Structure 1
Amino acid sequence: MDFKQIQELIKIINKSNIGEISIEEKEFKITIKQKEDNIQTVVTAAPAPVYAAPAPAAPTATSASAPAAAAPKADNLITIKSPMIGTFYRKSSPDKPNFIEVGDEVSPGKTVCIIEAMKLFNEIESEVSGKIVKVLVDDASPVEYDQPLFLVEPA
């Protein structure tokens, strides 16, 4: 099983209600377990060590800890997605404040984060107006193309 097949499998599990799947082929074994907000992938080969790779977080508008009032509004939330593969940063440098926090208002053109790709730091700007409801990615985490980064309640 190659990397692309594993990525496709993760996407399928992400969109389904399957809690866990295990696949074994000769000396290769993969187990994918779905949690509340993420999927954990563990890949092992017979003589090789165990590798753990974080998978893209499942886009969810509400969680068990979210207030009940937020649940009805989940249908009209807008997702700001990553336009590239790279490393996600919420601030321009370690000693600076985050570009945005939950509850902040954003408008088109406002910088919401930075994605580092091939040693280039790309400012990601909002294309929508509204209020940040949820940050879906941890600071300094790798992100994939089109991965949800923020949930925005439109203004």
Structure 2
Amino acid sequence: MDIKEIQNLIRFVAKSGASEVKLEMDDVKITIKTGSDTETTIVQQVPAPQIAQPIAPAAPIVAEPAAAVPAAPAPANDDSKYITIKSPIIGTFYRKPSPDKPLFVEVGQTIAEGDVLCIIEAMKLFNEIESEVSGKVVKILVDDSSPVEFDQPLFLVDPS
């Protein structure tokens, strides 16, 4: 049964004045309920029964001992000494106040508490995000004009 047939069935039931119609076929179950001004349609497709396929016996697996090779430790990204400044809201991240103005902050720049780091636009409101710490901007984690989520990391700051 295709969508056109289902739509025609809904129209027919609505015109007939019936409050509920159930239709069950081999692979489709349809329930149409009409109320005062609302119609509810539930379409449920029943999957065809699966036929079990015979499984071929697998070849025996022989485990060979691995050579003792020490795994080299992966270089750890030492971001733990930095403070992460996160987005307080959902919106669009901007690094400058307008397209023709300079960036608020750049990597390597020293910032003080209260300095504006970026703007996040949410519902046509431009919210200035101020730094809560003093330090040096180590990394900017979001591209300009990108959407950001609540609590998403935006900047890494070295407080020392």
**TM-score category by the smaller chain?**
0.5 to 0.7
Structure 2, unmatched stretches of 5+, are: 1-74
Residue 136, structure 1, aligned to residue 141, structure 2: yes
After superposition, give the CA deviation of every residue in 1:18-52 in whole Å (9 maximum; x if it has no partner): xxxxxxxxxxxxxxxxxxxxxxxxxxxxxxxxxxx
Equivalent-residue separation in structure 1 for 2:132 and 2:111 (angstroms): 9
Partner of 1:110: 115
Instruction: State which of 75, 87, 110 in structure 1 corresponds to 2:92.
Output: 87
Q: How high is the sequence identity, in percent, across the aligned residues?
A: 71
TM-score, scaled to structure 1: 0.53
Residue 100, structure 1, aligned to residue 105, structure 2: yes
Equivalent-residue separation in structure 2 for 1:117 and 1:97 (angstroms): 21
Residue 153, structure 1, aligned to residue 158, structure 2: yes
Report the CA distance between 1:75 and its aligned residue: 2.1
CA RMSD of aligned residues (A): 1.6
Task: List structure 1 segments (4+ residues) > 4 angstroms apart after TM superposition.
Answer: none
Corresponding residue SS for 1:75 = coil
Equivalent-residue separation in structure 2 for 1:93 and 1:143 (angstroms): 18
After superposition, give the CA deviation of every residue in 1:56-96 in whole Å (9 maximum; x if it has no partner): xxxxxxxxxxxx9xx55x32100000000000000000000
Equivalent-residue separation in structure 1 for 2:98 and 2:138 (angstroms): 23
**Higher-strand-fraction structure:** 1
Q: Which one has the largest radius of gyration?
A: 2
Report the CA distance between 1:107 and its aligned residue: 1.2
Residue 120, structure 1, aligned to residue 125, structure 2: yes
**Higher-helix-fraction structure:** 1
Equivalent-residue separation in structure 2 for 1:148 and 1:86 (angstroms): 13
